Amino acid sequence: MVSVMLIGSPVTHAIDVITNITADTASITTAQLRRIYSMRQVKWANGVPITVFVLSSNNLIHQKFCKETLRLFPYQLDSIWNKLTFSGMGIAPTPVNNMDELIKAVKSTTGAIGYIENINEVSDVNVLKIDE
């Protein structure tokens, strides 16, 4: 019975946060992650500017990351980002089309941050431990 249930369930992974190796940090708090994604912290502790990469708002991985990791709803972030973009007061994260592009962008951009569903698929990036 247990094996039938497992076979019948879709395989889901927790969302991990990855950074470019220049970010020079091993762990991060949920509050700090929220600050980074709401563009309230724009530099790492070592002074390197943070570049945020995201999937589109209707992407299920993005929605899961927002709700479970950041404890924010995707529309809240959309609103913050639109406000910055269309008032000239800041810039929004850079959108990418899919997970492959996101991983490639984080690997190749100094100070970049992103998220990934299956950590086994990636190397050459920092995987951050998330503290409460």
Partner 1 sequence: MSMYLKLMNKYRYVSIGLTALFTFHVIADDDRTAEPLKIHGFIAQGIIDVSDSDFVNDDGKFSTELTEIGLNTSYQLSEDFRFAAQAVYLNGGNRYNEGLRVDYFLIDWDAYSSEQWQANLFVGRFKSPHWLHSSTRDIPFERPSIILPQGLYFDGFRDIAVGGDGAALKLTYNNDEFGEFDFNFSRGKSSITNDDAEVILSELAQGDIENELDSQASVYWRPVFSQWRFGLTLLDSEFTYNGETLDFFVDGRFQFQNYTVNAVYEGEKWEFTSEFLQTRFLTEGFYIPQFHQDNLGQGGYFQARYKVDQQLTLIGRYEEFYADKDDRNGYELEKRSYGAVPNYFGFQHDAMLGFSYDFSNNLQVNAEYHWMQGTARLNPIVLPNPTLNKEHWKVWAIQLMYWF
| Shortest CB 55 distance to partner 1, Å | 11
Nearer to partner 1, 109 or 118 (CB): 109
Cβ distance to partner 1 smaller for residue 1 or 60: 60
Q: Does 5 bind partner 1 (CB under 8 A)?
A: no
Q: Which CB, 81 or 116, lies closer to partner 1?
A: 81
In whole angstroms, how far apart are CA 81 and each of 48, 63, 77, 89? 21, 15, 6, 10
Q: What element of type H or E holds 129?
A: strand 126-131
Among 31, 100, 127, 129, binds partner 1 (CB under 8 A): 31
Our finding on whether 112 is near partner 1 (CB under 8 A) is yes
Q: Which one among 24, 64, 94, 118 touches partner 1, defined by CB under 8 A?
A: 94
Concatenate the DSSP letters of all residues of 38-72 into one string.
TTS--B-TTSPBPEEEE--TT-HHHHHIIIIII--
The closest of 70, 76, 84, 87 to 35, measured between CA atoms, is 70
- Tell me: does residue 86 bind partner 1 (CB under 8 A): yes
